[in-house]
Copies of this chain bind each other. A is one copy, B any other.
């Protein structure tokens, strides 16, 4: 997917978590009957997983049907950008100790609604990242 002359470079897997930890808003991709949806979420990185808070609603309904998700975070400047994807599963946190820790986490209170659900995204397929550089377009054939 990349070579020495390419302006697309693969971000080493061990660096991907650092990129994820640099942002606060990412996008959760879910799919039901192969019709995908994307929800922006406020998140934090917990070890090698991602935690977000949710209320009951369309996101949780979709996750009940299919827990395979992708979580994507990207960042941009005038010169280029990067994108990291976690492909894995999303599961509601039910363990009391984990919940107590999650309630103290630095998550923005997006909506003044009681949101007692915490969800953990764990990579099963994996984590991957790419770095893009903007540049002049070459002559087309």
Contacts and interface: CB of A to CB of B under 8 A. Distances in A.
B37 A70 contact: yes
A94 interface: no
A82 to B, nearest CB: 9
A12 interface: no
A108 B134 contact: yes
A68 interface: yes
Given A25-B74, A36-B70, A109-B137, 6 more contacts: A29-B29, A29-B31, A36-B36, A39-B83, A110-B132, A113-B138
27 contacts: A1-B57, A6-B111, A6-B113, A8-B111, A27-B27, A27-B38, A27-B72, A29-B29, A29-B31, A32-B34, A36-B36, A36-B68, A37-B70, A37-B87, A38-B72, A38-B85, A109-B135, A109-B136, A109-B137, A110-B134, A111-B134, A111-B135, A112-B135, A114-B138, A114-B140, A115-B137, A116-B141
Contacts of A136: 109, 112
Interface in A9-53: 25, 27, 29-40
Contacts of A137: 109, 112, 115
